[in-house]
Amino acid sequence: MQTILRGINSEVTIDSNGPVIIIGECINPTRRKKLVSTLQEGNFDYVLELVESQIKAGADVLDVNVGYPGVDDVKLLPQTVLAIRKKFDIPLCLDSPNPDAIEAALKVAGGKCLINSVNGEEKSLKSLLKIAKEYEAAIIGLVMDDDGITHDPIKRLSIAEKILDRAVKTGIKEENLIIDPLAMAVSADSRACIVTLETIKLVHQKLGLNITIGASNISFGLPGREDLNSAFVSLAIMNGLTCPIANPEKITAAIRASDLVLGRDDYAVRFVDYFQNRAITS
């Protein structure tokens, strides 16, 4: 299965058999106070710095999240998208819980964006699938619903199936749905990662859809985040993860290594290229 995302003149293909596509997570106010303060001033210079550094580090797509308490993201999300679009042509993943902000951003983004995200709740399905269809966008489906988050991989799979069914009934092609099997902090629940890995395997085998994950979520509250995230992402790739949302400056090495180990990088071209170019810039 192939999901195609586009910038204005650029295109990225996410294939359910890899190689892995990286969605850069860094345009996100979580732990980035400077992002909040600069955006509050209407200054997009720091956002553009984050775009450039993530692309250099290996990002293929960028997640854009400007949510913080009190923000009017119906205004700020499209403004941020426009600022990025003036300088960079890379497919975007629009990350907001507010459907109005998503729609406002889709109106100005052009290309083919990824909506982040719909979930199995009736309210979410009703508002967001219609928007995805109308703007011909792809969409991430989070496997939670009106009953909350389940810790049973089979039940998470059934929510993915429900979202797929509703998406297809809305006229969205199945390749335009990317499933997020939910990654949560392993410090809070020792089984959190294994439940996610099992769900990834089930969704990959039974539905064949592309799969994303907020990879850095798993290491909240722990030291050694980079090592922990890398171990998790490598195992997740083995099970069918194809487009993680992560920090490219910290995860690209593990991703290039995983693709090489899995026989998806002939003559180690991408692996060697990554390390050669990294050596030159550092």
Contact positions toward ligand THG, by CB under 6 A? 25, 28, 30-31, 65, 95, 116-117, 140, 180, 183, 212, 214, 216-217, 225-226, 229, 245, 247, 250
Please state, in angstroms and rounded to a whole number, the distance separating the CA atoms of residues 163 and 207.
Answer: 12
C-beta closer to ligand THG: residue 199 or 229: 229
Of 16 and 28, nearer to ligand THG (C-beta) is 28
The residue of the chain with the least Cβ separation from ligand THG equals: 214
The alpha carbon dihedral of 278, 236, 55, 76 has a sign of negative
Query: Where would I find the H helices in 120-191?
Result: 122-134, 153-169
Min CB(215)–ligand THG separation in Å: 8
- Minimum Å gap between C-beta 9 and ligand THG is 26
Residue closer to ligand THG by CB (options 129, 140) is 140
Q: What is the nearest approach in angstroms of ligand THG to the Cβ of residue 269?
A: 26
Q: What are the strands of the beta sheet with 61-64, ordered from one edge?
A: 210-211, 177-180, 138-142, 114-119, 92-95, 61-64, 23-27, 245-246
Supply the minimum distance, in Å, between the C-beta of residue 74 and ligand THG.
18
Amino acid at 101: A
For residue 1 the two structure tokens come to 């299965």
Q: Which is nearer to ligand THG, 83 or 142 (CB)?
A: 142
**Minimum distance, C-beta of residue 212 to ligand THG, in the bound complex (Å):** 6
SS3 12: strand
Rounded to the nearest whole angstrom, what is the least distance from the CB of residue 75 to ligand THG in the complex?
A: 20
Which one, 148 or 263, has the nearer CB to ligand THG? 148
**Residue with token string 């990294």:** 278
Phi, psi of 59 (to 5 degrees): -70, 135
Contacts of residue 24, defined as CB under 8 A and 6 or more positions apart, other chains included, come to 54, 55, 57, 59, 61, 62, 63, 245, 246, 247, 248
Give whichever of 178 and 260 is closer to ligand THG, judged by the CB atom.
178
